[in-house]
Copies of this chain bind each other. A is one copy, B any other.
């Protein structure tokens, strides 16, 4: 398709992508846009579904079931007469969290990550617990602290046993970590007991997600009801919701599961995503992996979440769980990359890291395709965040 809008070579956001986001222009209310190249297209100003796009979130649009139609209308506009007046440089825009998050559920669906964590936490024991291959293990996280890429993240305090006397005391976390994840955003009408083969009727789009984690806080608090404060201080997402429609050509078959799961988790359609992921720490590459070999797919996660009758809402968000590949260079968290600090990372500037230090910036990127014209690049942009020191008490 020939379009009048300029798209730089290698951009994450060619005409085939058109992800949705929300921007707040200076002195104007927030509104829904699609991104094209380095610009945003103001949908309401273009007269495209203003009842859904002159909105501070994409929730109503996602609930309407009209996402694909709106992307098609935006594509027609971009390939018709020049309407540069509707484009704004993304650098001039305040980009905000695009969704009002309903429930946020975080999973644990990478076989390599769960195996690594099992080896680190329970050396010598079977790394996977008995339930892991039978259901996508997950828990509810805090939706109110989902922040957009670029938001600084203060190092959290939490109770950690003092090595001197074993008494737990409130301290800034000494093992602050990231987790490389992919997030799925739910649209459509409320639904329950969703069949995995219907997942694309309920999942609207995909973002990158950094599940910041305080390992020491988690280690002390998590029995018997799971992580709480170790995760609830912040979860960062990329601002551009890449639609399932844009990703269809990159849906591939997931790994074969053994044992075969219960029928409610069995899909016949391919729900893995051939998606490349990288992590940089202060600009130095530390991880490069792929999303396609996750053990549990988003379709299975959605089927599992709703099999007990729980309903979805447009705006629900679920995280894939940390994405780690089979090799050491593909690990999606510091605790894996450094084997809980036993093997510190050396960054390109020669500095060492066991976990994250104040001032560190973590940047995750993701993209599908881009190798040939038949596989246009569908990119996610980035999710980035810088660690700030714990605020002083009373501040």
Q: Which residues of A contact B (CB under 8 A)?
A: 102-103, 105, 108, 129, 131, 134-135, 137-145, 154, 156-159, 168-170, 193, 214, 217, 220-229, 232-234, 262-264, 304-305, 307-313, 316, 391, 393
Contacts and interface: CB of A to CB of B under 8 A. Distances in A.
Nearest to A227: B225
A140 B310 contact: no
Contact of A262 (B170, B232, B305): B170
B168 A308 contact: no
B139 A226 contact: yes
B233 A144 contact: no
Contacts of A170: 262-264, 307
Nearest to A229: B308
A309 B234 CA distance: 9
15 contacts: A131-B168, A135-B221, A139-B226, A139-B227, A139-B228, A140-B141, A140-B232, A144-B311, A154-B309, A158-B307, A229-B305, A229-B310, A232-B305, A234-B309, A309-B391
A308 B214 contact: yes
Contacts of A134: 159, 168
A122 to B, nearest CB: 10
B140 A140 contact: yes
With most chain B CB atoms within 10 A of its CB, the pick from A140, A156, A305, A316 is A140
With most chain B CB atoms within 10 A of its CB, the pick from A108, A311, A313 is A311
A246 B262 CA distance: 51
With most chain B CB atoms within 10 A of its CB, the pick from A138, A141, A223 is A223
A144 B309 contact: no
With most chain B CB atoms within 10 A of its CB, the pick from A154, A159, A193, A262 is A159
A233 B310 contact: yes
A164 B119 CA distance: 31
A225 B227 CA distance: 6
Contacts of A391: 193, 309
A311 B146 CA distance: 11
Nearest to A315: B144
